[in-house]
Structure 1
Amino acid sequence: MPKEFSDLPIASVPQRLAALGYDVLILAGLIMVYGFAFMMLAGAVTGLDCKPDELDYSPCVGGPLYQLGILGVIAAYYIYSWRGAGQTVGMRAWRLLLANHDGTQLSYPQCFKRCLVGPISLVAAGLGFFWGWIDKNGASWHDLASGSEMRVLPKKKKS
């Protein structure tokens, strides 16, 4: 078992995308909970009836405030996960660990940079992720922007 973070292998592009796929499922659930809470709060504050039998939720969950809240939920999930354990749920499933080059925990500014550059990496036809195939250190755009690395943890030995 490697003794240092730098001894661990760099996470590959397919591993990163697979972890992202798992995280999308977690985020879908979080966004549904947020949408329900926002709909209830918006209905209570504005007095609009957001009843299930009316099937028109646009006054309750439409608009920029709702969409900004969704971005906040997504950012909070990633920042909380990266800052707390260095792993999201998807990263845990694929045994990926995110840290600084020396193995220390990411700071909040680094997490924010990843949150800003990560979507750009994805929206640019995935080029920011696929950059890992070009970069000599296997880094994606958001790794480079935040000064972090994603490594693969060893498998746990069965006892």
Structure 2
Amino acid sequence: MPETVNTPTQFNQLPRAGVVPRLVALLYDLLIVAGLWMVYGFFAMLVVSAFGGLHCQPELQDYTPCVGGLLYQLGLLLVTAGYFFWSWRAAGQTIGMRAWRLMVANNNGMQLSWYQCVIRGLVGPLSLACLGLGYFWGYFREDRASWHDLASDSEVRQLPKKKKEKKR
């Protein structure tokens, strides 16, 4: 088994990732996304307060004008999509996937296209929204493919553990 994946052939020789490691990696990624949302929210509040003024009404506990606007929510969506798309395109891994030694590529073992990233990004939340059925679908398939894998013509593989060097 190769220590690093340098070719599509090496990728296709790796075992397919199971459902549990994929969900745990997604949990890790949600922590990263939450941090990105906080940074985005900080800068969004700075911009809004500098140029438009905040119209929140904390005494009424109404923060909707500050964080409930369509433009703000669109920004959150773009930050989230940007994190996943850039990670999948740049390295085939998000931070959570790196922690669990997972890698995503198309079925030929090549880097995902932007189109495949968008399809994964659209179908992935649906896989979760259906009580995780899109992920657990992999238990019933020999290739362990989830809905977003099937829709985007991609697959997630389990990378091997790195061999530790012996200390002398």
In the superposition, the TM-score normalised over structure 2's length comes to: 0.88
Aligned Cα RMSD in Å?
A: 2.0
Which residue identity does 1:45 align to in structure 2? F
CA-CA distance at 1:103 after TM superposition: 1.2
In the superposition, the TM-score normalised over structure 1's length comes to: 0.92
Equivalent residue runs for 1:1-159 within 5 Å: 1-2=1-2, 4-48=10-54, 57-159=63-165
- Equivalents in 2 of 1:133, 1:73: separation in Å? 31
- Equivalents in 2 of 1:49, 1:133: separation in Å? 49
For the residue of structure 2 that corresponds to 1:4, the secondary structure is helix
Give per-residue Cα distances to partners, 1:100-147, cap 9 Å, x unaligned: 122110000000000000000000100000011012210000000110
- Equivalents in 2 of 1:85, 1:15: separation in Å? 18
CA-CA distance at 1:48 after TM superposition: 2.8
For the residue of structure 1 that corresponds to 2:160, the secondary structure is coil
CA-CA distance at 1:64 after TM superposition: 1.6
In structure 2, stretches of 5+ residues that fail to align are 3-8
User: What is the aligned length?
Assistant: 159
Which residue identity does 2:155 align to in structure 1? E
CA-CA distance at 1:66 after TM superposition: 1.2
- Equivalents in 1 of 2:41, 2:125: separation in Å? 21
Q: Is the 8 A contact 1:38 1:61 kept in 2?
A: no
- Equivalents in 1 of 2:53, 2:11: separation in Å? 54
Note closer, same or farther for the CA distance 1:94–1:158 as it changes in structure 2 (3 Å cut).
Answer: same
- Equivalents in 2 of 1:134, 1:79: separation in Å? 27
